[in-house]
Homo-oligomer: A and B are copies of this chain.
């Protein structure tokens, strides 16, 4: 599907840029920046493929890694320009989240998974790269701390699964589910929507 390929490309680029930006802010050198860009871009899909018992998608298609390297070099060379366009990046990132979630859901259903398995694997595909990025940079993963992020993946994947059960063609269900993920993500960013917390004061980060 041409649209999916385009959005997949945009998303890979945006995820790679988010990894590279975090590396710059942590004072990492050019190599650390490159590694963080690549793992952020390919991490989620790699987790998905390994769990499905397949070889990672980048084993036989180097375009994803080359695209991530290009994103890393752009951030390295044009840091000030890139950060000025950070709103645009959040849009890219939402597009990547939607594309990765739907691709993950498609592959999970192809492997015969049920509703729960499909939703979990699609969500892991969407958020996996960002989790690895944050762990490597020494942060608690942002998806665990705030914002409607993985929730958007869960809703989109669930919708995709039900549309498929009702025999809706993938030509319709894929863009629809992807759009739902993207719109939920962008709306939550715009309105600063969050999920409730349990009514307990947070402890300091390290246990006694």
Contact = CB atoms under 8 A, between A and B. Distances in A.
Interface stretch (A5-13, A133-141, A159-167): A133-141
Contacts of A26: 140, 144, 202-203, 205
Nearest to A150: B31
Nearest to A205: B138
Interface string A18-54: 0000011111111111011010000000100011111
Contacts of A54: 53
A190 interface: no
Contacts of A144: 23, 26, 28, 31-32, 35-36, 136-137
A29 B114 contact: no
B116 A29 contact: no
A137 B139 CA distance: 9
7 contacts: A30-B198, A31-B149, A46-B51, A51-B59, A60-B117, A62-B114, A131-B136
